[in-house]
Structure 1
Amino acid sequence: MKNILEKICEDKKVFIEKEKKKKSINFLIKNTSKIKKVKDFKKAFDKVLKKGKIPVISEIKKKSPSQKKFNKSFSPVKIAKNYQKNGATCLSVLTDEKYFDGSLNHLKAVRKITKLPILRKDFIIDNYQIIESKNSDVDCILLIIAALDKNHAKELESTAIEYGLNVLLEVHDEKELEQALNLKSNFIGINNRNLKTLKININNTKKLIKKIPKNKYVISESGIKSVEDMINLWSYGIKGFLIGETLLKNPSKLKDFLNVKTN
């Protein structure tokens, strides 16, 4: 029996093939500039860290496999404006349609109203999605190592770098971390949620960060519910957090998170 991640990736392959029939990869390549600069996630993080504060990537999503709709009236633009007003470092926008009710159009709408760096959160398994991302003014893509073998991950990262995109490598266990550390990106996201079972354990960050070189920008993802969680994980050497569910349920918490001092 397939786990949820395998099922999502299987459905994603079908979805991408349909998209290719609407717009071919050659069409995207012709209409995508490799030269146009993206916003640098590292610079955005460093700017916040120098102020003695903790970088937060604030996530925009309508629902998830583990959570039904977060609110009845979903407005990506309204959420993005609120995050920006309250000081988010970067934004993350879910674009998966089937499992998250996301859309690339959500991201494009957000892009029009903010200058913050934007992460495209999706199950990226094809170069088509990377070129599509660049074409949509995305600044960073997510590569979920659990969904990719060694060569596939390397190929996708290489394409992203070719198009000037930042890459966040997401891992959940030691095997995935070892694979990620053999790639070029300096951003490692430790997902406290097991994407195969959807269970969360924030101690996963504490366990894996010990094996990551200090020069990497380590981001803790999933399960961050309180300032206490943030301070606890920060003490282990985290450089930032990706927070979605907690902020979508209680937007005012972003101010609390961003008021945490690191010194």
Structure 2
Amino acid sequence: MTILDKIIAQKKIEVEQLLASDVKFPGREITRPSLYKSLRTAKQLQVISEMKRASPSKGLIAEGANPVRQAAAYYEAGAACISVLTDKEFFQGSFDDLAAVADTVPIPLLCKDFMIHEIQIDQAKSAGASVILLIVAALDDQTLGRLYTYANSLGLDVLVEVHNVEELQRALAIDAAIIGVNNRDLHTFEVDLAQTELIAKEFPFDEERVLISESGIWNAEDAERAAKAGASAVLVGESLMRSDSVKEALRALQVEKPVNRL
């Protein structure tokens, strides 16, 4: 089993528990700006900053990190969006973290989790998310399309994550507007920014979609490489969580977007 297989198996258990408990998540009005609109109009590469204590590949990154302090630092440094990992088993996150961040910052807020059922989307929105993540590799086409439509019906932006050109085509088939390229290989967990460049060559930039490069962004050179490929934003977790100066680290990534792409 891959790490993703193990995570999805755990998510199925969590979803069954939620459904069995007949829990109801109260609706919450979205008052945050649209991530899609902000990325479409920005002149500089935007930074989606992640609250991340741990990961299966790296282990502990920032044990005991305070989500409110981290989110406030990201916001003050100019983050376009804050991503909060809500998976407990593998990433030491929680929906309490998401709710706490939602009460702290007014910018777009991404619930970073492994969504396989509508009830998780309800939970994310109720906790304050304005964006959710759908991972193409974790879902069949029918479920992917159904969850995408459901999230849109709630007024949520959806970041659809792909790992290769085949998954890009599946994301385009559901008319995804925000597509993220995870530069981490799900089988080897090695990271290579060439993934963004490879997928960018097949990306329909003329269709008013936005491309985000995820994982492996450590410095301005990495950011410039992603921007040159056509990315509107980078999603950055580990390097910011480990940084001594969030403001300096984040602002170094806000490079100018070139007019010409690869």
Structure-1-length-normalised TM-score = 0.91
- Superposed CA offset, 1:147-168 (max 9, x none): 0011110010011011111001
Match of 1:66 among 57, 73, 76: 57
Structure 2 residue 157 is the aligned partner of structure 1 residue 166: yes
Residue matched to 1:229: 222
Match of 1:43 among 37, 40, 43: 37
CA offset at residue 232 of structure 1? 1.7
Aligned equivalents of 2:131 and 2:174: distance in 1? Answer: 16
Residue matched to 1:18: 17
CA 1:105 to 1:23, structure 2 compared with 1: closer, same or farther past 3 Å? farther
Structure 2 residue 63 is the aligned partner of structure 1 residue 85: no
Structure 2 residue 249 is the aligned partner of structure 1 residue 253: yes
Q: Structure 1 segments of 4 or more deviating over 6 A?
A: none
Amino acid at match of 1:124: M
3-state SS in 2 of match to 1:219? strand
- Structure 2 residue ranges without an equivalent (≥5): none
Aligned equivalents of 1:36 and 1:57: distance in 2? Answer: 18
Residue matched to 1:262: 257
Amino acid at match of 2:122: I
Structure 2 residue 222 is the aligned partner of structure 1 residue 216: no
Amino acid at match of 1:32: G
Q: Retained in 1: the 8 A contact 2:228–2:257?
A: no
Residue matched to 2:7: 8
State the number of aligned residues: 253
- Superposed CA offset, 1:218-255 (max 9, x none): 00000011101111221121111101111111134112
Aligned equivalents of 2:78 and 2:31: distance in 1? Answer: 23
CA offset at residue 23 of structure 1? 4.3
Q: Retained in 2: the 8 A contact 1:57–1:88?
A: yes
Aligned equivalents of 1:109 and 1:22: distance in 2? Answer: 24
Q: State which drifts further: 36-45 or 235-244.
A: 36-45
Aligned equivalents of 2:128 and 2:66: distance in 1? Answer: 20
- Structure 1 residue ranges without an equivalent (≥5): none
Aligned equivalents of 1:38 and 1:18: distance in 2? Answer: 30
Q: Retained in 2: the 8 A contact 1:44–1:90?
A: no
Residue matched to 2:103: 112
Structure 2 residue 177 is the aligned partner of structure 1 residue 186: yes
Match of 2:27 among 25, 28, 32: 32
3-state SS in 2 of match to 1:235? helix
Superposition CA RMSD, Å: 1.6
3-state SS in 2 of match to 1:56? strand
Q: Retained in 1: the 8 A contact 2:32–2:106?
A: no
Aligned equivalents of 2:22 and 2:236: distance in 1? Answer: 33
Structure-2-length-normalised TM-score = 0.92
Amino acid at match of 2:176: S
- Superposed CA offset, 1:130-185 (max 9, x none): 11122222100000000001111001001101111100100001211110011122
CA offset at residue 44 of structure 1? 2.4
Residue matched to 1:130: 121
Amino acid at match of 1:3: T
Q: Retained in 2: the 8 A contact 1:37–1:164?
A: no
Aligned equivalents of 1:132 and 1:181: distance in 2? Answer: 26
CA 1:76 to 1:36, structure 2 compared with 1: closer, same or farther past 3 Å? closer
Q: Retained in 2: the 8 A contact 1:38–1:137?
A: no
Aligned equivalents of 1:101 and 1:170: distance in 2? Answer: 21
CA offset at residue 68 of structure 1? 2.0
Amino acid at match of 1:262: K
